[in-house]
């Protein structure tokens, strides 16, 4: 509880719900920016002057000339026209605009509530704001990796950028659940189980970012086998145990596939455990997790079999938002019920 004032509590919960959906939109647009290869279209980091998009033809020529200086244009998009450049520019501009909007939409209400609530009660929210600011820096750190000596951004930096976004989203949703003070029954399972499930999901998001960053979804477009085999035939088994495996497209895809199987098996273990113990209050969330997990797997398979087409890949990333939210809720109700039992 941030305050005993129900009106302010309601205002904070509404604000956090709004921020959850705004950041979800940011993740979706970020995914589309990556899928359309638009992320390197703006080659400068202009925190304030970059708020306004190009207006005159001279403005557009200026930005296009900057883009022509980087390897992506010289080696890959050398035949790009101004009209084509405008399309990728707008994707990146919208992505950055949303980042600025998120910062302001979080900071202004936070200052407002600071004058009405003891600062120490808002430390967790100030921590989230610090992460939002840090995320802006990581975004530029990611983009800068693709401006020299390569035609795309580092998949490692891309994964950090995406992980922080999901971490911020998770913290906001966790604080929202706390402020809503949802009534939980005392039946629960060991908290290690939902923590493990959440860690597995975040690991899968990381590997998924590797797949996206290296365009690894455009190879081995078959399922359940990778071509004619379970293991990619362009690699030896020993390569899977080397650090270089995380920079190998076929091995990263192999990891992404099999981590999905591991998550499914772990989910089935939890499902059996919940129903065997007749933890009725867990039925809703465990069934919801199963539905979302199934949707995510099906979308992943469709994305793979269609060569990472934008419509399937974007839905695959979108569904991951709901899966993470459900995983956070699963952890929350077990943590809350455990604290109630100990109290």
- DSSP for 34-90 reads HHTT-TTS--S--TTGGGSPP-SHHHHHHHHHHHTTSHIIIII-TT--HHHHHHHHH
In percent, how much of the chain has pLDDT > 70?
95
Q: Which H or E run includes 14?
A: helix 6-35
pLDDT tens digits, 84-139 = 999 999 999 999 999 999 999 999 999 999 998 888 889 999 999 999 999 999 99
In the predicted structure, residue 339 carries a pLDDT above the cut 50: no
Give the per-residue pLDDT at 337. Answer: 54
Question: What is the pLDDT confidence band of residue 180, given thresholds at 50, 70 and 90?
Answer: confident
Q: Can you give the pTM of this predicted structure? A: 0.92
In the predicted structure, residue 182 carries a pLDDT above the cut 70: no
What's the average model confidence in pLDDT over 219-245?
92
- How many Å apart are CA 154 and CA 159, to the nearest integer? 9
Q: How far is CA 217 from its chain centroid?
A: 17
In the predicted structure, residue 30 carries a pLDDT above the cut 60: yes
In the predicted structure, residue 288 carries a pLDDT above the cut 90: yes
In percent, how much of the chain has pLDDT > 90?
78
- Residue 323's Cβ-count burial label (10 Å; 0-12, 13-18, 19+) is buried
Question: What is the pLDDT confidence band of residue 340, given thresholds at 50, 70 and 90?
Answer: very low
Give the per-residue pLDDT at 341. Answer: 39
pLDDT tens digits, 302-329 = 999 999 899 999 999 999 999 999 999 9
DSSP 117: S
């Amino acid at each position: 509880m941030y305050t005993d004032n129900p009106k302010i509590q309601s205002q904070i919960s509404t604000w956090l719900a709004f921020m959850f959906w705004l950041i979800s939109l940011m993740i979706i647009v970020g995914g589309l920016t990556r899928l359309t290869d638009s992320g390197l279209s703006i080659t400068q980091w202009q925190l304030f002057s970059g708020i306004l998009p190009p207006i005159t033809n001279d403005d557009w020529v200026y930005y296009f000339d900057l883009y022509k200086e980087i390897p992506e244009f010289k080696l890959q998009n050398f035949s790009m026209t101004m009209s084509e450049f405008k399309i990728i520019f707008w994707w990146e501009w919208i992505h950055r605009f949303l980042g600025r909007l998120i910062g302001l939409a979080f900071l202004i209400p936070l200052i407002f509530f600071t004058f009405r609530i003891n600062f120490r009660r808002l430390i967790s929210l100030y921590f989230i704001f610090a992460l939002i600011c840090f995320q802006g820096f990581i975004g530029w750190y990611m983009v800068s990796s693709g401006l020299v000596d390569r035609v795309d951004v580092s998949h490692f930096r891309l994964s950090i950028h995406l992980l922080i976004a999901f971490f911020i989203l998770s913290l906001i949703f966790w604080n929202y659940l706390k402020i809503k003070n949802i009534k939980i029954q005392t039946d629960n399972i060991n908290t290690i189980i939902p923590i493990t499930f959440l860690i597995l999901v975040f690991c899968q998001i990381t590997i998924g970012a590797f797949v996206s960053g290296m365009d690894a979804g455009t190879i081995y477009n078959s399922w359940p086998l990778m071509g004619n085999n379970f293991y990619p035939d362009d690699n030896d088994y020993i390569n899977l145990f080397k650090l270089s495996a995380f920079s190998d497209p076929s091995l990263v895809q192999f990891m992404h596939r099999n981590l999905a199987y591991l998550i499914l098996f772990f989910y089935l273990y939890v499902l059996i455990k919940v129903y065997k113990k007749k933890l009725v209050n867990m039925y809703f969330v465990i069934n919801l997790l199963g539905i979302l997990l199934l949707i995510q797997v099906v979308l992943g398979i469709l994305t793979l079999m269609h060569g990472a087409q934008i419509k399937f890949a974007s839905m695959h990333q979108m569904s991951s938002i709901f899966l993470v939210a459900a995983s956070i809720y699963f952890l929350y109700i077990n943590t809350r019920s455990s604290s109630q039992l100990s109290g």
